[in-house]
Amino acid sequence: MSTPVDGRHAAAYRSREVPGPLQVTDGVWAVPVPLRGSPLRYITVFLVETRDGLVLIDAGYEHPSCWESFTGSLAETGHDLADVRLVLLTHNHPDHVGFADRVRAVSGAKLVMGRADDFAYQRRERGGGFLLQLRRALGLTGAPAEVIDEMYAAARGVAHHSESLELDLAPDGDSEHVLGGVTFLGVHTPGHTYGHTVYVDTSRGVVFTGDTMMAEGPTQLAIPSLPGDDPAGDLLGSLDRIRDLGAEIACPAHQFPYRDIAVRAAKLKAHHEAELDTVDELLRTRDTAWEIAPYLTWPKPWEELGTGGKRFALIHTLSLVLGVTR
């Protein structure tokens, strides 16, 4: 179990409550934003002070309730939205990019996200956005046609954003961003998505891990929809990179900030390596992700998972199968 930076945020997460803003360390604020209709309950947007303005890490859903919560909490911390100069997006999921463009419209901030997660790049290089990639991947799982149709229809209902966000900068790989004497290293860490990036505030020893490395639990693997995709292998390499950064505090987009980063990275890597070993064993008597998924460990037994939960589990299993068989 990870060591929380502040026990109040860890307690709120475990009690299924949304905590208030928290000063993680000098100049770094955690601003939880409730996610209406999501089992995740909230995303934590991080705010970093520099002498030339503010840096924002991630943004919530494109929904009025998220915007109202965020701006209210921002004022509570004593900061002004107009002072945001840079928005660093860890990846392109809707709970991370939703109101980024609205921040830019108010403050003129530059928006940055890894090239492989840029929506225009995905349409051009990956044959479409989230839904098209999902449909292709579901077709690789071996699930019955009626199950695929049900999962796809449900996914359409929760695709909250238009995927039209235009970036000011889309680095291909690692990057460096400097504002007001503070250097942020963008470290390419695929696995959860293909362009996922963690950002390191080198002066404070803080790494903003997005969805790659939470304080607790596994990492959801990316949708494998093209030949050569290997999210499981990508993630194992990314965990090694985070382990070796030497940061002292991890600030994930969900759950709570924590310490003991190298220990957490090692434990999470061991968990996913064990998943791969299990899938390798199951492939001796089963052929598809659909046949294997019920035998893996999920938050609930397979039979009790809803349509969305089974979709996440099935895509994760497909990524593991590809990690074993390629």
How crowded is residue 129: how many other Cβ atoms within 10 Å of its Cβ? 18
**Residue 245: per-residue pLDDT:** 96
Lowest mean pLDDT among 13-17, 37-41, 206-210: 37-41
- For residue 200, what pLDDT band results from cuts at 50, 70 and 90? very high
Asked whether the predicted pLDDT for residue 38 surpasses 90, the reply is: no
> Over the stretch 278-318, which tens digit does the pLDDT of each residue have?
999 999 999 999 999 999 999 999 999 999 999 999 999 99
**Residue 160: per-residue pLDDT:** 58
Of 254, 223, 222, the closest CA to residue 238 belongs to 222
Handedness of CA 212, 225, 293, 240 (dihedral sign): negative
At a CB cut-off of 8 Å and minimum separation 6, what does 284 contact?
none
Count of helices and strands (H, E) across the chain: 11, 11
> Over the stretch 86-97, which tens digit does the pLDDT of each residue have?
999 999 999 999
252 contacts 265 by C-beta, under 8 angstroms: no
- Average of per-residue pLDDT across 262-290: 97
Asked whether the predicted pLDDT for residue 144 surpasses 90, the reply is: yes
**Residue 14: per-residue pLDDT:** 93
Asked whether the predicted pLDDT for residue 35 surpasses 90, the reply is: no
Q: Considering the entire predicted model, what is its pTM? A: 0.96
Residue 303 is given by DSSP the state G
> Over the stretch 47-96, which tens digit does the pLDDT of each residue have?
999 999 999 999 988 888 889 999 999 999 999 999 999 999 999 999 99
| DSSP string for residues in 58-123 | -B--SSHHHHHHHHHHHHHTT--GGGEEEEEES---HHHHTTHHHHHHHH--EEEE-GGG-HHHHH
Q: What is the mean pLDDT of the chain?
A: 95
Asked whether the predicted pLDDT for residue 1 surpasses 80, the reply is: no
**Residue 159: per-residue pLDDT:** 62
Asked whether the predicted pLDDT for residue 162 surpasses 80, the reply is: no
At a CB cut-off of 8 Å and minimum separation 6, what does 228 contact?
none
**Residue 138: per-residue pLDDT:** 97
93 contacts 244 by C-beta, under 8 angstroms: no
**Residue 166: per-residue pLDDT:** 96
* Domains of the chain, residue spans: 7-129+161-273
How crowded is residue 17: how many other Cβ atoms within 10 Å of its Cβ? 12
- Average of per-residue pLDDT across 120-148: 94
- Dmax (CA) for the chain in angstroms is 60
**Residue 173: per-residue pLDDT:** 96
Of 39, 92, 30, 41, the closest CA to residue 66 belongs to 41
Asked whether the predicted pLDDT for residue 241 surpasses 90, the reply is: yes
257 contacts 5 by C-beta, under 8 angstroms: yes
**Residue 4: per-residue pLDDT:** 95
Amino acid at 199: Y
Q: How far apart are CA 194 and CA 311, in angstroms?
A: 19
Q: Which CATH number is 7-129+161-273's, of 3.40.640.10, 1.10.10.10, 1.10.1670.10, 3.60.15.10?
A: 3.60.15.10
**Residue 161: per-residue pLDDT:** 66
